[in-house]
Amino acid sequence: MNVPLLTSLERIGCGGIILATDGSVVAVNATAHAILQTIFGRAKIAEADLLASGRELIKRLLTRGKTRIKLDSEDWVLIERPDCRPLVMHAIPTVVQNLDGPHTILILIDLDDTPQVSPATLERIFGLTRTEAKLAVLLASGASTSEAAGLQGVSVATARSQLAAIFVKTRTTRQAELVRLLVRLAILP
């Protein structure tokens, strides 16, 4: 099912699940699907199975939520996972127009996943060259300048020179500021 909200959540690296009033799963994006497969240790959960038995999987997921935190009067659930950061889950009620329609949207945030901005998007928005855009994406993914240089097969001095050009074109002055900007652009195709 192509749901624009789920597509937008997908672009920023968030899982999205739409639940009906009876708790059944109406739609799910690929990130949520992958998260559920990983948590429940299944190599493959068919989307049809997820839609059919999704309610039970969501219940099992909620039972793993040991910690509830309140942020600005909203409740979030932390789901601890072995050997990685917790999964953060938030339920948002939707306006119900009829009793059979969607009722709740579950947002799943995998704290070990980093949203990726498209290099082509950076080329178009900021006029970066292809190599500058690739460097920016690597930096936004957490690579250091020297690691990014190694991955691109260039010297650290060349990577630093490219980074200086990226700073000018994006009107940023620090790597942390650049990363913050790029993460905001991850929602774009």
Tokens of 106: 């579950």
Q: Are the C-beta atoms of residues 125 and 103 closer than 8 Å to each other? A: no
Model pLDDT, residue 72? 62
Q: Is the pLDDT of residue 5 over 80?
A: yes
Q: Which residues pair with 54 in a beta bridge?
A: none
Indicate where the chain has its CATH 1.10.10.10 domain(s).
Answer: 119-187
Indicate where the chain has its CATH 3.30.450 domain(s).
Answer: 4-110
β 74-81/25-28 pair status: unpaired
Share of the chain above pLDDT 90, in %: 36
Q: State pLDDT tens for residues 130-168.
A: 999 999 999 998 999 999 999 999 999 999 999 999 999
Report the distance separating Cα 113 and Cα 102, nearest Å. 27
Q: State pLDDT tens for residues 94-136.
A: 765 555 566 788 899 998 887 888 999 999 999 999 999 999 9
- Of residues 135, 170, 128, the one with CA closest to residue 153: 135
Report the distance separating Cα 16 and Cα 13, nearest Å. 10
Q: Is the pLDDT of residue 71 over 80?
A: no
Amino acid (one-letter) located at 137: V
Report the distance separating Cα 92 and Cα 107, nearest Å. 8
Tokens of 35: 């998260």
Q: State pLDDT tens for residues 6-39.
A: 888 888 889 999 888 777 888 889 899 888 888 8
Question: Which CATH number is 119-187's, of 3.40.50.2300, 1.10.10.10, 1.10.357.10, 3.40.710.10?
Answer: 1.10.10.10
Give, in words, the CATH class of 4-110: alpha beta
First to last CA, the chain: 18
The pTM of this model reads 0.73
- CB-facing half-sphere around the CA of 139: CA atoms within 13 A: 25
